[in-house]
Amino acid sequence: MIVVMSRNATQEQIKNVENKLLSLGFNTHPIYGEVKTVIGAIGDKRFLNTHEITSMPGVECLVPIMKPYKLASRELQQSNSIIDVDGVKIGDSNIVIMAGPCAIESAETFLETAIKVKEAGAKILRGGAFKPRTSPYSFQGLEEDGLKILAEAREATGLKIVTEVVDTRDVELVNAYADILQIGARNMQNFRLLREAGMTSKPVLLKRGLSATIEEWLMAAEYILAAGNPNVILCERGIRTYETATRNTIDMSAIPVIKELSHLPIVVDPSHAAGMWKYVGALSKGAVATGADGLIIEVHSNPASALSDGPQSLRPEKFAQLMKELQAVAAAVGRSI
């Protein structure tokens, strides 16, 4: 439920209401709006005597949150969440581009690509050190050595880094290196992993599961938020459908739907959606035009030799060209890149 405080409620009254809710076993999430403060109260309200709260000084009313996800819902927070990744803001009028190879393969090639994506205008560098591969015989990533290469590339370029964590046992390690923890599509409903990521203070890029509904995806985000981490960035990366012409089917509708249902930012991964580099440009433009807050694009200096996802990776020159083209699309929808 949402406790709406009146316009002129004092800090002390807000604190008293929060303390009361805490004493009744609720978790509280105050949101200080420009006009009013509201307190999200998450817990079991079956035994709550609502009068106990509504009669408190400074309380205007109680509003139930009808959706099964609470902290992720627009009902609780009307203004868009802007996630601050160590100075790079995701969710405001600027569209943030994340780019880099699927996996970190070597220090040299990774740094070379990092420099190129930065020159083209990317703000965040991607690269997997722990790779969730369909086959156990495929390249699984360089693990901590890969994280070290990521940190070196951040040092050299100033780009922030996003990298995937696939196991609860690695959250602490990945958290020590990454600026954004990525939770991959295959782990979207790994609830222990979501909780663990929720106990860190790093922004979390939560990819949509291969066959997850938007509601299931927002419930997954709720796990992270409920564990205490408000910094969730949703990522649409295509879903499984009967179509086989592309690797996955990008769900562009998810962008406006998420914008209506949630205050969380949404970025789009056209690379895993398409599965082929030649479609990445069109899907990127479509996502920006549809309202995405960012893109995460796979870029590799020599896709033919990539250890994972070469066919869907753009060469750095193609990526630079796309970045130029995206500026016009962003401008057409009142945003910048």
* Residue number, 32 or 191, with CB nearest to ligand PEP: 191
185 binds, among Mn ion, ligand PEP, none (CB under 5 to 8 A by kind): ligand PEP
Which residue from 83, 115, 89, 84 is spatially nearest to 101, judged by alpha carbons?
A: 115
Angle between helix 214-226 and 254-261 (nearest 10): 40
How far is C-alpha 308 from the chain's CA centre? 22
184 interacts with ligand PEP by CB under 6 A: yes
Selected range binding ligand PEP among 61-69, 146-154, 181-189, 253-261, rule: CB under 6 A? 181-189
Residues 118-157 that bind ligand PEP (CB under 6 A): 128, 132
List the x/- string, 100-139, binding to Mn ion by CB under 5 A.
--x-------------------------------------
List the x/- string, 254-293, binding to Mn ion by CB under 5 A.
----------------------------------------
202 interacts with ligand PEP by CB under 6 A: no
Long-range contacts, 201-204 (Cβ 8 Å, 24+): 201/229, 201/231, 202/175, 202/178, 202/229, 202/231, 203/83, 203/84, 203/85, 203/90, 203/179, 203/231, 203/232, 203/233, 204/180, 204/229, 204/231, 204/232, 204/233
Contact 2, 67 (CB under 8 A): no
132 binds, among Mn ion, ligand PEP, none (CB under 5 to 8 A by kind): ligand PEP
237 interacts with ligand PEP by CB under 6 A: yes
Selected range binding ligand PEP among 32-40, 151-159, 179-187, 224-232, rule: CB under 6 A? 179-187
Angle between helix 277-290 and 316-332 (nearest 10): 20
CA distance readout (Å), 82 to 92, 125, 318: 6, 19, 29
300 interacts with ligand PEP by CB under 6 A: no
* Dist CA 287 CA 234 (whole Å): 13
Beta carbon of residue 180, minimum distance to ligand PEP (angstroms, whole number): 12
Q: Which residues bind ligand PEP (CB under 6 A)?
A: 102, 128, 132, 184-186, 207, 237, 269, 272
Q: Which residues bind Mn ion (CB under 5 A)?
A: 102, 309
